[in-house]
Amino acid sequence: MAMSGWSCLVTGAGGFLGQRIVHLLVQEQGLQEIRILDKVFQPGVKEEFSKLQNKTKLTMLEGDILDEQCLNTACQGVSVVIHTACVIDVTGVIHRDTIIDVNLRGTQLLLQACVQASVLIFIYTSSVEVAGPNSYKEIIRNGHEAEHHESTWSAPYPYSKKLAEKSVLAANGYTLKNGGTLYTCALRPMYIYGEGSKFLAQMINNSLKNKGILISNGKFSIVNPVYVGNVAWAHILATRALRDPKKAPSIRGQFYYISDDTPHQSYDNLNYTLSQKWGLCLDPRPSLPLPLQYWLSFLLEVVSFLLTPIYKYRPPFNRHLVTISNSVFTFSYKKAQQDLGYEPLFSWEEAKQRTMEWIGSLVEQHRETLKTKTQ
């Protein structure tokens, strides 16, 4: 496969991860065009992308992942597709059908568009949640790809991501319209943190409204979160590897866990480590025992179900959320290291520093807002 004159489409390019991938892609050798697709680009994102226009042409496309005509147009003349677009929801805010439509049907439509446009490579951003955890009692430490871990949850996010990943890996070897062959792989990142994370921003803002107390929801977990810059870097390396005739045969149709050297810790400890400099602290009150949290969430789900005909009640937490937030569930990146040549681009210290500085800007914004309101 030629190393020059190639082009790449990134879906979800305006998102937390997608933006990082685009920033790294512009440095790739021989890349002539990056098409960046998202439903809506925020003004700040458009401005940021316009600064990247250099030797590589950047084409911004606003469109829906469920719009077949949009996908067909976006894929025409493209060599590589990096598919990050998805809906993430673990609390039940977004309707189940919407999540499954975007995450599963959108992926399947994009694969069809790739076949019609004779796209050679498809890289899918999956999730560690396709592997579980299925029970907070189950302990997985330094899991790897040779072990069979599969989510059994019917919750829409893990369910849709699992089926979408299966569709992507099953599409490896498809015959393209021009007679060529489609090659695919999937990356399963751990929980992604870093500057720009909507989850982190929401957690910080909620804590600031709660007198600087971090709301505990993952005290009993042991996980290995991954910095967003390292996840983006893994996508670049996957692109390089699938375009390399020597490396590609062992990567096609495979999935890879993507973690880094962030210390294994609880979600609560991660949040505290990243925000303590700004005066935020852990909730000193004791947490409910984990089995009690689980069965309480079950009762709330029952209440929600019974009220459905007359009232839409959304519980503050559910069994799936309690489980994923409080499990011992860590995975190794050795296979990605071996096959993709993956090494974290950012150290834990650098990732921590960058994230802490961003959190500091959120705290400052909050203080400025309070000042304005009191004047």
156 or 29, higher pLDDT: 156
pLDDT digits (tens, 9 = 90+) for 310-343: 988 888 889 999 999 999 999 999 999 999 999 9
- Would 149 be classed as within a structural domain? yes
Euclidean distance between CA atoms 296 and 294, whole angstroms:
5
Mean pLDDT in residue range 129-156:
96
Query: What pLDDT is recorded for position 2?
Result: 43
Query: What pLDDT is recorded for position 197?
Result: 95
Whether the CA torsion 89, 93, 96, 98 is positive or negative: it is negative
- Would 109 be classed as within a structural domain? yes
Lowest mean pLDDT among 120-124, 130-134, 201-205: 201-205
Euclidean distance between CA atoms 360 and 297, whole angstroms:
34
Query: What pLDDT is recorded for position 375?
Result: 62
- Would 101 be classed as within a structural domain? yes
Query: What pLDDT is recorded for position 341?
Result: 96
- Would 142 be classed as within a structural domain? yes
Query: What pLDDT is recorded for position 4?
Result: 60
Q: Which residues are catalytic?
A: 157
pLDDT digits (tens, 9 = 90+) for 62-83: 999 999 999 999 999 999 999 9
Euclidean distance between CA atoms 218 and 252, whole angstroms:
36
CB-based burial, 157-186: b 16+ in 10 Å, e otherwise: bbbbbbbbbbbbbebbebeeeeeeebbbbb
**Count: domains in the chain:** 1
- Would 115 be classed as within a structural domain? yes
Greatest pairwise CA separation for the chain in angstroms: 68
Euclidean distance between CA atoms 114 and 72, whole angstroms:
8
Query: What pLDDT is recorded for position 285?
Result: 87
The three state secondary structure string of 3-32 is CCCEEEEEECCCCHHHHHHHHHHCCCCCEE
pLDDT at 114 over 70: yes
Mean pLDDT in residue range 78-101:
94
Considering only CA atoms, give the Rg of the chain.
21
Write the CB contacts of 240 (distance below 8 Å, at least 6 apart in sequence). Answer: 28, 340, 341
Q: Is residue 236 within 8 Å of 28, Cβ to Cβ?
A: yes
pLDDT at 372 over 80: no
Query: What pLDDT is recorded for position 43?
Result: 82
State which residues form the domain around 251: 6-192+226-261+331-346
Q: What are phi and psi of 254, to 5 degrees?
A: -105, 160
pLDDT digits (tens, 9 = 90+) for 179-234: 999 999 999 999 999 999 999 999 999 999 888 899 888 889 999 999 999 999 99
- Would 355 be classed as within a structural domain? no
Euclidean distance between CA atoms 131 and 282, whole angstroms:
29
Query: What pLDDT is recorded for position 67?
Result: 96
pLDDT at 3 over 60: no
Mean pLDDT in residue range 81-95:
92
Query: What pLDDT is recorded for position 313?
Result: 86
Q: Is residue 159 within 8 Å of 153, Cβ to Cβ?
A: yes
- Would 96 be classed as within a structural domain? yes
Query: What pLDDT is recorded for position 90?
Result: 84
Mean pLDDT in residue range 91-116:
95
pLDDT at 104 over 80: yes
Q: Supply the mean pLDDT for the chain.
A: 93
Whether the CA torsion 371, 366, 208, 318 is positive or negative: it is positive
Look up the CATH number of the domain holding residue 166: 3.40.50.720
- Would 269 be classed as within a structural domain? no
367 or 125, higher pLDDT: 125
Closest to 182 measured CA to CA, from 256, 109, 81, 37: 81
Query: What pLDDT is recorded for position 1?
Result: 44
pLDDT band at 24 (very low <50, low <70, confident <90, very high): very high
User: 30: phi > 0 → left, psi -120 to 50 → alpha, else beta; which?
Assistant: left
Block residue for tokens 């993956």:
342
Looking at the chain, the whole-number percentage of residues with pLDDT higher than 70 is 98
